[in-house]
Chain A
């Protein structure tokens, strides 16, 4: 039991945060284990940044409790800051300082010794040695993100909190970034990363989907998919655009999404969906098969569900 417990890096319950009337985070409960890459998903304004800031002591929760790296998130924020690497959503290094000066400054803030060696190593690892004396403001988006990651790794943190680190970064740089995250996780570093990208969600060990401040689903990708018990049919063939319009009108169909030449038709009820689709399945010019719903299907379902509930309560 004790061993299992020490394996839990983030363990919080009942976290709430208000900004005036805006209830930005509601009863957040989160468990993340050592070496896990936990993906934090949700549309803009759903409370991802606010949650992350509460975890690293930048915002004080209105209520709730828990620990981060075994330190109390309300009382031991200093210790948490010492062992956490936080990458802000927006690039937040000093653009009027050079790369070297930025890294050196951060190293000082963490009270590191042998700063020069660490900074040199980091620059070399980023292949930025010859640009070390350039101002950070002159870097392009992908390099800024590399610098930000390097700066949060400088003090060898045990936990990385990354807030939309790959927004506006090209696909190749994104892939390299994720390879790096997996390498770090393999070394026992825990990563909590918020993102918008579905392909990134699929690269996480665990996921959490947050909407309007509520964490609606949590677990591995297949657990999250299974939890909503959706049924999805994929259809290929001719004239899919017209078919999509017909399908959207059916009450048993909740969503129709096209993925290139394939249409995903999703509904919450297996029997009703089957019955509704049956007449069209006989047409020979299209091929139908049941597939596992994708994460995107599930997230869109969660969003619709939340909208419906909102309408009902109003």
Chain B
């Protein structure tokens, strides 16, 4: 039995933590509840397929083609035609105020150029502030371009219909050029959930012992700080893995998120990410005097992680300083890993460059934490 680490004692601490966890209904509920609630909230509330989006038109060409296109829009369940804009200023204002989500602009010589076979462009401006809201509608409008003029282009005009369609739709996503698809958010949630639960739960687990006075009892025994700290976090590694599995299952079943890459690669990266968050939770717990402070520190870290990691806003859309902060956060890199593995089928070559910054973060935090870990009550 080494002076600094006794495996049997360590097992005792791990076992005790599991028993306590089993009896702590609230925490137990959170382990399952947080992933489920967040997935449902973010997955359904934000990523549902929005329809009947208010759409205005700016029409400079009143030919029969324009009428057919408008009729096609009105028939599509994605668009709700709210009327014509008098001029460009008005259509701009409609987008800016959110009165219209889309404005369709039919240019002055549209019919003429169409008949000449020049494939004129129809402009679809979208308020893409919330890109997930517009994504499916934009996909639908492309579909529309193929079919809407089927009745008009008969007889001598029939060749114009062609394979590419008689006209082109130019989509102009305003306010937010990077469109995040539904698939982006659900895998991202995995990182958000892990950040929140891993940091908070370890932070609370240790400050709870201090607050209830049981830490004094523990430190009065021969148990070392190393045994206590590491013994207490082991159950949370397991919890993290359970949460990841839960999110993956729900993502697959509820949202049909694809899993193109290797799960082994993903789980190994997850372990590194969990470790980094646990070290942070440990360090918070040794800095915090009580559970409330541990909670506050968690949120102090959690908010920028949510906001600057590319989870809430497209990373490339942020100003440089925000991107710099984002690069230092483990969640930023983890999001790239999860999205890459699940959606693009990325493997080690793409995952490793994003994993080592997470590991580095963990090492830096441990280096800071080791100075603050106390084996006494001083």
A146 within 8 A of B: no
Q: Are A86 and B220 closer than 8 Å at their CB atoms?
A: yes
Q: Give A92 to B219 CA distance when docked, in angstroms.
A: 11
Q: Give A92 to B377 CA distance when docked, in angstroms.
A: 14
B216 cross-chain contacts in A, Cβ below 8 A: 58, 88, 92
Which listed residue (A56, A90, A109) contacts B223, Cβ 8 A?
A109
Q: Are B9 and A111 closer than 8 Å at their CB atoms?
A: yes
Which listed residue (A78, A90, A97, A111) contacts B213, Cβ 8 A?
A90
B205 to chain A, nearest CB (A): 12
Which listed residue (A58, A90, A93, A105) contacts B219, Cβ 8 A?
A58
Q: Are B24 and A109 closer than 8 Å at their CB atoms?
A: no
In the complex, chain A residues 227-256 whose Cβ is within 8 Å of any chain B Cβ: none
A4 to chain B, nearest CB (A): 29
A105 cross-chain contacts in B, Cβ below 8 A: 12, 15-16
Q: Are B377 and A58 closer than 8 Å at their CB atoms?
A: yes
Q: Give A82 to B1 CA distance when docked, in angstroms.
A: 14
In the complex, chain B residues 11-50 whose Cβ is within 8 Å of any chain A Cβ: 11-12, 15-16, 19-20, 23-24
B220 cross-chain contacts in A, Cβ below 8 A: 56, 58, 81, 84, 86, 88
B377 cross-chain contacts in A, Cβ below 8 A: 53, 58-59
Q: Give A219 to B216 CA distance when docked, in angstroms.
A: 30
B3 cross-chain contacts in A, Cβ below 8 A: 78
B218 cross-chain contacts in A, Cβ below 8 A: 109
A294 within 8 A of B: no
Q: Are B221 and A60 closer than 8 Å at their CB atoms?
A: no
A156 to chain B, nearest CB (A): 14
Q: Are A111 and B217 closer than 8 Å at their CB atoms?
A: no
B141 to chain A, nearest CB (A): 59
Q: Are B378 and A60 closer than 8 Å at their CB atoms?
A: yes
B6 within 8 A of A: yes
B214 within 8 A of A: yes
Which listed residue (A58, A81, A94, A101) contacts B222, Cβ 8 A?
A81
Which listed residue (B9, B20, B223, B376) contacts A57, Cβ 8 A?
B376
A91 to chain B, nearest CB (A): 8
In the complex, chain A residues 76-135 whose Cβ is within 8 Å of any chain B Cβ: 78, 81-82, 84, 86, 88, 90-97, 101, 105-106, 108-111, 135
A81 cross-chain contacts in B, Cβ below 8 A: 220-222
Q: Are B16 and A97 closer than 8 Å at their CB atoms?
A: yes
Closest to A161 in B: B220
B120 to chain A, nearest CB (A): 73
Residue ranges of B at the interface with A (Cβ–Cβ < 8 Å): 1, 3, 6, 8-9, 11-12, 15-16, 19-20, 23-24, 212-214, 216-223, 376-378
A60-B376, A111-B1, A111-B222 are known; give 5 further A-B pairs, CB within 8 A.
Answer: A58-B377, A78-B222, A92-B213, A101-B19, A105-B12
